[in-house]
Amino acid sequence: MTSPFLRETMSLITEANIDPVEFQWFDISKLNRKELVETHWLKEYRPPFEKCMVVRRGPTKNHSSYDLFMMTVGDDPEEGIVISMWKGPTGTKPRALPSLVYIVQDDAIKYGPIDSEIEMKHEEATTILGLVCAWFQTMSQGTEAHRPHVKQTFTNLRKIKEGKSPTYDWTTVLIGPKAAKSESLGGTHASPRLHDRRGHLRRLQTGKNVWVRPCKVGNAELGTVFHDYEVAHA
């Protein structure tokens, strides 16, 4: 079941003329930000899908409730991951931080603002990359996934025709380290319904970790399954 905050965020980006169905959604509000977050996650992990939306609502040192919204585009750090973030106290208009891109080359992390004419403060870059690391770290332990899809109803078809936002439904699945073996996809194991397979780390028999890129698998003729993600604290 999706969180009220995640649904609230989806309404906000819909008002900004962004299609929420384009994204895989993650709610990391349960994450304890006081935990030590190490930057090695930027080298070892990566976004599990091409487009992701990550949200967090929780207390900070100066606020009883504070909101963070993060959009990521790209799933290969060698080619570059683009990150946009907005933040602010709950109930206020969130402030946009300069969009950042980071790449990993020769085991080194390089990052900077998308717009070279915009100055990015060190604190802003630390906030963005720190949240990315926290997200990666928690995904490696276990996540709950969410993805919106449009209900195929007469009312929704009318709303879309009139240029209005339709009513969305959600698919949710709990993903842990071994969740891929327990997800119910319909059909048979030999020919499941078409679905997104998230990017993930795979440990080879040699002990080396390799990254398996996201892809679509299954038979479209049997139907389509959509997943969306909420990070669960391990």
CA angle 89, 23, 79 (to 5 degrees): 100
pTM of the model: 0.69
Other C-beta atoms lying within 10 Å of the C-beta of residue 165: 16
Structure tokens at 186: 């319909």
Say how far apart CA 75 and CA 84 lie, in whole Å: 15
| CB neighbours of residue 23 within 10 Å | 23
In angstroms, the CA 20 to CA 6 distance is 11
Strands 193-197 and 219-225: parallel
Q: What is the pLDDT along the chain (234 residues), one digit of tens a residue?
A: 678 888 888 888 887 788 888 898 998 888 766 555 678 889 888 888 899 999 999 998 899 999 999 999 999 998 999 999 999 999 999 999 999 999 998 888 999 998 888 888 988 998 899 999 988 887 877 777 688 888 778 887 888 788 777 888 878 766 555 433 334 444 444 555 555 666 656 655 665 656 666 666 665 555 545 544 444 443
